[in-house]
Structure formats: structure tokens, C-alpha cells
Chain A
Amino acid sequence: DGGITQSPKYLFRKEGQNVTLSCEQNLNHDAMYWYRQDPGQGLRLIYYSQIVNDFQKGDIAEGYSVSREKKESFPLTVTSAQKNPTAFYLCASSIERREIQHFGDGTRLSIL
């Protein structure tokens, strides 16, 4: 069954700590995205990648970093520079230049 797997489901970050959220897809999609969802706000784009070894900043990239070493994987690191990391993080994928067809079930990140 094709889809996007995000892990972990819940994550807690201590002060000064970097944490990495995993996103894996088996849909053979070219494009992958990371969004942040806060209550009462739309999804905000953090980073996106159209092909392996290439990615672009979205609207709120500060304090985050990504890599795209494999087509299937697009991990997001929330660094200590991100001062307000508490949010629901969603990974998504699409056939390049098409609508977003698949989202993962998200990772909820909280500060300890």
C-alpha cells in the first residue's frame, strides 16, 4: 500500500536540542514538502524539494534544515534556533508540478 510515513508521532524537545522528524514515501513521487500547522492558521511551507539533492526554502525556513539524499526520504531537522517549535508538522508529496496528493499523518512536536 503506497503512502507517506512520518515518525515519530509525538516528539519532545529540550532547550538547545536539535531534533529530526522522519518522512518516507513509497509513491515514487518527485516532489516532497514540509508544512507546519498551528491552531487557527493555514499550513505554512517550511521547505520543499523537487528532485534528489535539491531543495528550496519556503515561507518559514528559519530554524529548520532538510536534506534529500534519496527520492524516498525527506527528513526535517528542527534546530535550537527555532524558538517556537511547538506545532503539528506535516510531510507531503506530489508528482512534480501537480496538486499535493498525499500527506503523512504528522508529527506533533512539543517543548519539554
Chain B
Amino acid sequence: QKEVEQDPGPLSVPEGAIVSLNCTYSNSAFQYFMWYRQYSRKGPELLMYTYSSGNKEDGRFTAQVDKSSKYISLFIRDSQPSDSATYLCAMSALRNFNKFYFGSGTKLNVKP
């Protein structure tokens, strides 16, 4: 079983829709959770970073962590064509900050 599972998509939505992207994980030691956006032929860029459980909001983006279910989500409100990209989740444990576990990425397409 992979440490982090992520639906590869593609996910296609109309402009203005609310997008929900999700990851599940198996290691209960994970405490740090990250979301990255990756455009084609580019490196990932950090969107959101959360520690432990709860919600974090930044503009149109909300990250949610449910440690009891081992489930994290990224919500994008009022989605734009410029949000079309691959979204990667990543996580790490308290004991070993330098070891990050990445999901395989969900490809999102926002249609104008």
C-alpha cells in the first residue's frame, strides 16, 4: 500500500465551480501537510501548508486536514482557467522533517 494515495483525475470543471481535491494516507505519524500546484513542464509551487488537524484558508484556497480519517482536502472556490494544473499533496512526520511523501497528483482542467 502506498503511503499517500491521490486520484490522478483528470478532473474537469466549468469556470466558477468549487473544486475539491483529496488525498488519503496510511501513516498516523504524519503531522505536516502540504499542497503544491504544478503547471506543465514546471516545478511544483507551494500553495498551502498546515500542521496537524483543522482548516487553513488563503484567498480562494482552503486546506482541510482530518487526522482521524487520515484524509486531507484542498478546496478551490470560484475556479479559474488559470487554476488548470496538476495538484500534488505531500506530508511528513514530526520525527523526520526532511522525508516528504508525495501523492501522484490530480490533473485539474477548468473550462472557460
Residues of A within 8 A of B (CB): 4, 6, 31, 33, 35, 40-43, 45, 48, 50, 90, 92, 94, 96-106, 108
Contacts and interface: CB of A to CB of B under 8 A. Distances in A.
A79 to B, nearest CB: 24
Contacts of A35: 102
Given A90-B43, A106-B41, 12 more contacts: A42-B6, A42-B88, A42-B101, A42-B104, A43-B88, A99-B34, A99-B49, A100-B34, A103-B44, A103-B45, A105-B42, A108-B41
A31 B32 CA distance: 17
Interface stretch (B10-18, B65-73, B75-83, B92-100): B92-100
27 contacts: A31-B98, A35-B102, A42-B2, A42-B4, A42-B6, A42-B103, A42-B105, A43-B88, A43-B90, A43-B100, A43-B102, A45-B99, A48-B98, A50-B98, A92-B43, A98-B97, A99-B46, A99-B49, A99-B92, A100-B34, A100-B90, A100-B100, A104-B43, A105-B41, A106-B42, A106-B43, A108-B41
B54 interface: no
A45 B88 CA distance: 15
Contacts of B92: 99
Contact of A103 (B6, B43, B104): B43
